[in-house]
Every structure is written in structure tokens, then in C-alpha cells.
Structure 1
Amino acid sequence: MDWTLEVVVLPVSDIERSIEFYRDKVGFHLDHHTKNEHMSVTQLTPPGSGCSIVFGDLPAQKQMEPGSMKSLQLVVADAAAARQELLDRGVEVTELQVIAPSDGGTFFGFADPDGNSWAVQEIKARAENPLIAKDANARAWAEQG
């Protein structure tokens, strides 16, 4: 049986500001922003990822203090290019750190406006062997409209 991690609740203080940060600056896909008189819930997914972030004003999404999620980790095939992309979009990022010279040993980081922090790890092998096949990912996004 497969067990897939598909959603992580991210504690934020301002839903609209967080949508703008993750969609417009970081480049996550906005899957949905559901608002009605009872709730506001947003889900975004990093390009190529099978796991999304969700935030909103439902009680289950307000259990953690905004900014209390630390060291969520993203993986990219080229950390220098990813870092530059975020810099070009106005995101403050840390310097590249090479912890080990082998594949998987290069990192940088950034934080959202509330202080939730992210590590970005370079695994060059992801360029040729993504965890989710690109054609399957493209079909999924096309089906969502």
C-alpha cells in the first residue's frame, strides 16, 4: 500500500498576503482559493510536486502560531538557478551552502512573510529522474484547467 504525503498545513496570519507570496513570488500553482461566509481555505502546489501547502481560517488550520513551521524542504535540480529565480522575483534568500560535495549536499533557504522557513536542496538527479513524471504532472495540471 502506498502512503503519500499530499498536503501540509502552513500557519499564516494573512491569507491574501500569503497567496501573493507563494503564487507570485515563489511560483507555486494556486490550486484553489475557496471562500464563503463560513471559511477561507487556499491550496498551492510547488511546480512538479505531489505535495501541496494549505492555509486558511478553519479551526484545524489555526492550531499552530503563524510562522511556526520551520525547515520545510523543497528539492530542485539546480540550486543556483532556483535561488536566482527567487531573487529575481523579490524573495530574500540565503547564500548557497555546500554541506557536502556529493549530490544532495547543496542548500539555500528562504522564509515567508510570517517566518515559516524553507530549505531548498539541490539533487541534480531530479533533472533526469523526477519523483513525479513530467508528462503525468502536465496532464494533472491540464485537467485542473
Structure 2
Amino acid sequence: MEWTLEVIAVPVTDLDRAKAFYEDQCGFRADIDASFFGDTGRFVQLTPPGSRCSIVLESGMPDSPGQSRMVPGSLQGLQLCVTDIEAARAELVGRGVEVTPVLHVDASGWAEGRGEERWNSFLFFQDPDGNGWAVQEAPVPLAER
């Protein structure tokens, strides 16, 4: 049996503002924007370009059994992977997203610039609620070189 990660819930305060940020500024595709329970609930599902995993923004959904609702801005460490970190940074900046410079990890912590290892180049940004994203330049698999 395969277990695939397909959807991640991102807690936000304003669905329309968050949808605009992810769709217009991050370039995610809006797959679903639907109301439920009459008009008291709504969810928006968006997918990053080339990804099989989506995010969902929602309001009016009852808490899941045994789980409490996340606070907007509390989700940190979401990570997108790209093959060209500089091009990804330029695209986000061109769309108006505030991003860090390209950074890498060394013995003293985070340092500006690309890392020597092919996996060690990152940038970071936040959505309007403060949910934190990382973008990593992921190595191209050996089979694709």
C-alpha cells in the first residue's frame, strides 16, 4: 500500500487574502473554492506548480476528532523544492513576496549565499498570517542528469 501526502491544512485568518497571496504571489493553482453547510463554511485548495501535494485553507469546518484547531501563523517549516533557487527567488520577488536572500547552513548557522553541497541552498518567506515556508534547491536525481 502506498501512503501519499496530498493535502496540508494551513491556518489563516482571512481566506480571500490568503487565497490571493498563494495564487497571485506564489503562483499556486486554485483547484477548489467551495462553500459547505450552506454558506457558513468554505475551503480553498491550492497546488504549487508541479506538485502533487496541495494546501487547504478553510473556515467553518468542525475540529477533527482528537485534534485541536491550529492558530493562524503557527505552521512553520513547510518546504517547497526547486531545481533553481535563484530563479525561484527571482520569481517570488517579482510577484511581490518578501523573501530572504539565498542562504546555506554552515558550522556557525545560517550564512548568506549558496552552499557547497547541491542540497544546501535555501530561502524563506511567510504568508500574510506568518506561516513559514522554506524553499530548497533540491538536487536533480542521478537518473535525470
The answer to whether the superposition gives a TM-score over 0.5 is yes
Structure with max Cα Rg: 2
1:113 aligns with 2:116: no
Which structure has more strand as a fraction of its residues? Answer: 2
The residue aligned with 2:21 is 21
Other structure's SS at 2:92 match: helix
Q: 1:75 matched to which residue of 2?
A: 81
1:1-145 equivalences in 2 (<5 Å) = 1-35=1-35, 36-57=38-59, 58-60=61-63, 63-99=69-105, 100-125=115-140, 129=144
Structure with greater proportional helix content: 1
Letter in 2 for 1:12: V
Conserved 8 A contact 1:95-1:108: yes
Deviates more, 1:33-42 or 1:76-85: 33-42
Mean Cα deviation higher: 96-105 or 2-11: 96-105
Q: Number of paired residues? A: 128
Superimposed CA distance per residue, residues 39-96 of structure 1 (whole angstroms, 9 cap, x where no aligned partner):
1100000011111000111123880100100010000000110001000000000010
Give the distance between the partners of 2:118 and 2:126, measured in 1 at CA.
24
> Which runs of at least 4 in structure 1 moved beyond 3 Å after TM superposition?
none
Change (3 A) 1:53 1:60: farther
SS in 2 for 1:64: coil
Tell me the TM-score normalized by structure 2: 0.83
Q: TM-score, normalised to structure 1's length?
A: 0.83
In 1, the alpha carbon distance for the partners of 2:6 and 2:139 equals 23
2:123 alignment partner, SS class:
strand
What RMSD, in angstroms, separates the aligned Cα atoms of the two structures?
Answer: 1.7
Q: Give ranges in structure 2 of 5+ residues lacking alignment.
A: 106-114
